[in-house]
Chains A and B, each alone.
Chain A
């Protein structure tokens, strides 16, 4: 029988990341679908007591912990040592992990250490014919595969937005500490830095992804570009709607080509082939053209609308639910006014 380890780290405040609660829900369901496979929860952090208590009633058979100040920061050497110890202690055949940046960095090396295998960006975990299988995408979200593996342990990193977060399962967890000597490390984490400018424009938990295309910086009907006005409209909308800002590659690339750019835009905002593929319930694209990169970037956006001047736009046709053929400057100015009225 399979043995499952749900493995995660805590946030700096000691709580579980949202994606961890989601993926724990998936791990619990997987345990049930495998006929009650034993489930252990493994936690890594400076102090994991509160996190363990917050999911004490999830149905896990054991709560394992590697805790201490050395394990409170996101660093490969210490994260890998902690995760390796928990994987070995649990003797799990399936290790289900939320795909945070921290464990996306550490888990592949851990899989190698324990002679296991790893799959990432998993978008579904299910059981067929009594065997666990996963769904993941290839070629940057251009094709999707369902697969299973013979090798164990099998580390499965699940993306956010796949499962509903597990709520209402708090209690008092009986934590078993797994001793790990912190490995010698030559790396010190020195802080968190903003990406560009002062505006916080990336909000992974936002209801809406607002995608700005290169059209915002091009010449408008009067023959002149209106970049300052575009900045004002976009930032105003982001502030009022609390949307997350995405961008086409062509727009962020302009900064490297010496063209006029939106000052708050960086490669961090880019969606598509060499950008991110964010998950939001809704997406609104403005002044975007081109097809494939945007389709890829928007693969996991549920409701999609677009504003641009080309009714035949290959990006919008067949990909958006609604295409408004209009001047985005005018439309967004009115949108901001309406949002400002409450």
Chain B
């Protein structure tokens, strides 16, 4: 068996975190106002997973990275314009809704189906990557269900570091309660790793990587299979943006000593 990894990264688009979001009712359930017009980014934690995957592939010969994305085809195309220059990958596109109100169960089924159909993917060498949760549904469940559907029971959540050891085993650090890591050693792939921020910064744009990626991205988008994910069985009784605004008391032109006394009194109250 080759020493390289086949890394499938699940990740899609989410509204830019700085956008103001407003829920609206649609025939398919809750959605976002002007959802198709909102500026989008690659889901932040999935982006970290993609960068970690590319870094791992670069340092491990005979490895390959696929980005498996479920979203409206036109919007995926826009997203690819932003991320194609970051790291080398091959896109596997699914044409369907990317909003947060669909059911992770259905999304997982679609993603698992797409991974199973990747041409040339060697399942014993598979590392299934993704973000620990999305910035849309924010559930942190999809990747585990994809892993289950693929029969992978070595799974890790909130990963910040993966080290391939000399014997080929994988040493994984997962965030756990109290701001510490749980360290585990897995014999090797296949495994599921849902990433937190990892340790890598966002890579700079590389036009050569972009040109190389885009040659395969456009056909992948054209061949994107429809994925009819929904929220079957879920009734949303209410979706709203919290309107709470606090009446902020501004304290200025007051000596630091006095402010400190007030803060300490508050801390002790």
Contact = CB atoms under 8 A, between A and B. Distances in A.
Interface string B251-269: 1111011011111101100
Interface stretch (A49-57, A170-178, A325-333): A325-333
A318 B244 CA distance: 9
Contacts of B174: 101, 105
B139 A323 contact: no
A105 B153 CA distance: 11
A268 B158 CA distance: 10
Contact of A118 (B141, B158, B179): B141
Given A145-B238, A195-B180, A305 B144 contact: no
B113 interface: no
Number of chain B interface residues as a range: 35 or more
B160 interface: yes
A324 B259 contact: yes
Given A147-B235, A318-B246, A320-B248, A268 B175 contact: yes
B259 A331 contact: yes
Given A202-B179, A339-B264, A105 B155 contact: yes
Contacts of A111: 105, 141, 145
Given A151-B233, A282-B267, A324 B135 contact: no
Interface residues of A, number: 100
A46 interface: no
A165 interface: no
A285 to B, nearest CB: 12
Contacts of B155: 76-77, 105, 109
Interface in A135-152: 137-151
Question: Secondary structure at chain A's binding surface: helix, strand, loop or mixed?
Answer: mixed
B21 A139 contact: yes
Nearest to B172: A187
Given A147-B236, A149-B234, A323-B251, A112 B259 contact: no
A280 B268 CA distance: 15
B163 to A, nearest CB: 12
A121 B265 CA distance: 33
Contacts of A145: 30, 101, 236-240
Interface of A: 17, 74-77, 80, 100-102, 104-109, 111-113, 117-121, 128, 133, 137-151, 183, 185-195, 200-204, 207-208, 241, 253, 256-257, 267-270, 273-274, 282, 284, 292-293, 299, 303-305, 307, 311, 316-327, 330-335, 337-339
Interface of B: 14-15, 17-18, 21, 23, 30, 44-45, 100-101, 103-105, 108, 135-142, 144-145, 147-149, 153-158, 160, 171, 173-188, 196-197, 200-201, 233-242, 245-254, 256-257, 259-264, 266-267
Given A120-B139, A146-B238, A322-B251, 15 more contacts: A17-B177, A101-B176, A105-B156, A118-B105, A118-B139, A138-B239, A143-B241, A192-B181, A193-B182, A269-B179, A273-B135, A284-B263, A311-B252, A324-B254, A325-B251
9 contacts: A80-B153, A109-B153, A186-B154, A186-B186, A190-B184, A284-B267, A323-B251, A332-B260, A338-B260
